C-alpha cells in the first residue's frame, strides 16, 4: 500500500507565520485572505505580512479554495478575441485578479455578438462570477441560469439581474466630438453608426443627435455599417456620393469605421481634413497608424477591466461596487479642421 503524501516539513506554515508575528493562526488567515479590515489593526496586518514575506510563506491555495467553496475563477465574455479594445479590457481585469489570487478565463462569443453555448459543463461549479461586455450580451443566455454574480461592462442601467455594472461616460464622449466639430464651424454632418444592436451605440447616436439638434442650422444624416474597414468604406462612399449637399464632417462610432471613411475619401479625391473632417471613437492603435491621425475619443479600456474585476470581487465579498461612470476624453488630431471655405461639393 502506498502511504499518503506527507507535508513538506521545510515549508513554513500559517502557524509558523503566526508565531513569528505574535498572533493566532486565525489572524494570519484573516490577513493573508484579505479579510482583516475591521477585525485586525493595520499594524498587526503589516506585521503578519512582513512575517510571511520573511519566512517565504505561500498559502496552500487548493486547500483554501475548497474551504471557501470558491474556484477563484472569473469568466470575461467579449465579442471577439481580435478586438484591441477588449484585449486591453482583459489585461486590466487579469491584473486585478492576479493581485487577489484569481484567474480570468477569456471567452469570446463565436458569432461575435450572437448567442454561445455554456463553455463549461457546469458554470456554477467552475466559476465564481462573470464579467461581460454588453456587446456580447447574447452569449450570456446559457450562463444566466447558473446563478452566478454578473458584472456588466458598458450596459443599460435599466437592465435587471446584474450584480454590478461598470460604464463609461459614452454620452459625454460624443458630446465632446460634437462640440469640437461645431466649434470648427461644421454644420453638415454624417454619422457613420455601427450596425451592432447595442446599448453603447444607441447612447452615442442619441448624444450626437441631441447635441447637434440644439444648434440652429446643423443637420445630421445617419448611415449604418458593420464594424470593419471595408463596410465603413462602402457605406461612406455611398453617403458621400449621394444626392444633396455633402457633409463636411463624418462622425464615426468606432476608429475602424473612421479608417474606412478615410479610404473612401481618398478614392473620391477628397482630402482629409481639408475637404472632409473625420472623427473616430475608442483611440485604438489604428487611430495613429492612419494619415492624417484620427481625432477620436479615448476610452480607458484597461481601467474598465480593472473596475470590472474589482466590482466582481466586491460582490463576492458582500461589499458595494465602486459607483460612477469612468470619464472619457476627446483627443484632437489631424483628421479634423474647419470646413471648406465655400462649403461646396468638390
Query: Per residue, what are the HEC states of 226-270?
Result: CCCHHHHHHHHHHHHCCCCCCCCEEEECCHHHHHHHHHHHHHCCC
Same CATH topology for 14-59 and 71-167+301-326: the answer is: no
> What is the CATH code for 71-167+301-326?
3.40.50.2300
Confidence of residue 90 (pLDDT cuts 50, 70, 90): very high
The pLDDT value given to residue 198:
86
Give the list of residues 6+ apart from residue 101 with CB closer than 8 angstroms, or none: 61, 72
Domain ranges of the chain: 14-59, 71-167+301-326, 170-299
pLDDT tens, residue by residue, 37-69: 788 898 998 999 899 888 887 665 444 444 444
Here the cell at position 196 is 451592432
Which CATH class, in words, describes the domain spanning 14-59?
mainly alpha
Tell me, what DSSP letter sits at residue 7? P
The pLDDT value given to residue 110:
52
Percent pLDDT > 70 in the chain is 83
Q: Residue 102's CB: how many other CB atoms inside 10 A?
A: 21
Confidence of residue 116 (pLDDT cuts 50, 70, 90): very low
pLDDT tens, residue by residue, 287-309: 999 999 999 999 999 999 999 99
CA distance readout (Å), 91 to 105, 126, 262: 12, 21, 30
CATH: 3.40.50.2300, 3.30.1540.10, 3.40.1130.10, 2.60.40.10. Which one for 170-299?
Answer: 3.40.50.2300
Considering only residues 332 and 81, tell me which one the structure prediction assigns the higher pLDDT: 332
The pLDDT value given to residue 5:
39
Amino acid at each position: 500500500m502506498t502511504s499518503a503524501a506527507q507535508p513538506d516539513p521545510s515549508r513554513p506554515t500559517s502557524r509558523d507565520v503566526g508565531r513569528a508575528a505574535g498572533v493566532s493562526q486565525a489572524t494570519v488567515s484573516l490577513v493573508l485572505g484579505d479579510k482583516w479590515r475591521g477585525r485586525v489593526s493595520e499594524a498587526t496586518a503589516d506585521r503578519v505580512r512582513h512575517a510571511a514575506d520573511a519566512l517565504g510563506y505561500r498559502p496552500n491555495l487548493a486547500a483554501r479554495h475548497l474551504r471557501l467553496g470558491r474556484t477563484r475563477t472569473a469568466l470575461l465574455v467579449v465579442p471577439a478575441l481580435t478586438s484591441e479594445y477588449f484585449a486591453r479590457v482583459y489585461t486590466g481585469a487579469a491584473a486585478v485578479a492576479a493581485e487577489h489570487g484569481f484567474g480570468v478565463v477569456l471567452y469570446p462569443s463565436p458569432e461575435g455578438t450572437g448567442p454561445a453555448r455554456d463553455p463549461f459543463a457546469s458554470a456554477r461549479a467552475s466559476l465564481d462570477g462573470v464579467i461581460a461586455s454588453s456587446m456580447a450580451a447574447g452569449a450570456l443566455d446559457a450562463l444566466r441560469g447558473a446563478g452566478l454574480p454578473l458584472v456588466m461592462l458598458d450596459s443599460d442601467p435599466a437592465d435587471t439581474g446584474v450584480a454590478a455594472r461598470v460604464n463609461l461616460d459614452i454620452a459625454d464622449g460624443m458630446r465632446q466630438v460634437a462640440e469640437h466639430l461645431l466649434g470648427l464651424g461644421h454644420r453638415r454632418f454624417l454619422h457613420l453608426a455601427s450596425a451592432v444592436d447595442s446599448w453603447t451605440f444607441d447612447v452615442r447616436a442619441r448624444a450626437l443627435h441631441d447635441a447637434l439638434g440644439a444648434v440652429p442650422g446643423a443637420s445630421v444624416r445617419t448611415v449604418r455599417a458593420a464594424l470593419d474597414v471595408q463596410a465603413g468604406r462602402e457605406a461612406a462612399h455611398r453617403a458621400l456620393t449621394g444626392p444633396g449637399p455633402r457633409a463636411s464632417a463624418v462622425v464615426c462610432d468606432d476608429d475602424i469605421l473612421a479608417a474606412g471613411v478615410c479610404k473612401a475619401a481618398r478614392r473620391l479625391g477628397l482630402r482629409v481634413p481639408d475637404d472632409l473632417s473625420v472623427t473616430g471613437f475608442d483611440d485604438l492603435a489604428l487611430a495613429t497608424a492612419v494619415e492624417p491621425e484620427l481625432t477620436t475619443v479615448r476610452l480607458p479600456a484597461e481601467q474598465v477591466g480593472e473596475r470590472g474585476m474589482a466590482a466582481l470581487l466586491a460582490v463576492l465579498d458582500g461589499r458595494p461596487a465602486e459607483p460612477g461612470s469612468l470619464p472619457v476624453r476627446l483627443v484632437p488630431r489631424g483628421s479634423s479642421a474647419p470646413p471648406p471655405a465655400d462649403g461646396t461639393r468638390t
